[in-house]
Amino acid sequence: MGLTAIALIYSPWGKQSGAHLNPSTTLTFLRLGKIEPWDAAFYFLAQIVGGTLGVVVSSLIWGTAITHEKVRYAATLPAMNGTAVAFIAELAISFLMMTMVLNVSNSMRISRFTGVLAGALIATYITLESPLSGMSMNPARSFASAFPGRIWQALWVYFTAPPLGMLLAGELYVRTHGKSAVLCAKLHHDNDKRCIFRCAYKPFATQIAVKETM
């Protein structure tokens, strides 16, 4: 899953769209003023529909293997520790992910590594955190499994903790760096693809390049 995330972020489609696979990410950048509300609405729709179609197509390919009691549509469910622990765990991993994204993607020196670090964090979370909450960090991902499987148990955890965690990370970043420090909503901007966001990346990069040549 970590390698899949990296591949999608650096793919031509990911470079074009900004690789927002998560409504929590889109919501945070909307809050930070980097996405038009109309565009954000279509991102939310695409994320939910795309994720759900992925599960449905997988069901058609694998049949009863997807519905097996040990798979259950890959639904994200709290472990034996309960919903409170799952909520805190989802809040924490979402906060850390967005903190990384904001700090790395807004640095001209290391911004191109945002996708690699995101993939590494996902792999780490699956290894260490998934026994607590199933490692969702993404409302669309959790809904995609819950809908075809009719598995609604504790779905509220995955609809509240991830966006709250990422919004808190965005608030902390703005308070410590200033709103102008958020350059764009793309996870990977070191490319020639058109940007639809309220982007300050190219002007800022040009300004830095001019200063370095002086």
Q: What's the pLDDT band for 189 if we cut at 50, 70, 90? A: confident
Spatial separation of the C-alpha atoms in residues 156 and 61, rounded to whole Å: 29
What tokens appear for 96 in the block?
């850390």
Backbone angles phi, psi at 78, to 5 degrees: -60, 145
Identify the structural domains of the chain with CATH numbers, from first to last. Answer: 2-213 (1.20.1080.10)
Torsional class of 148: left (φ above 0), alpha (ψ -120 to 50), beta (otherwise): alpha
**For 183-193, what is the mean pLDDT?**
88
State the pTM of this model: 0.91
- Summarised one tens digit per residue, pLDDT across range 105-140 is 999 899 999 999 999 999 999 999 999 999 999 999
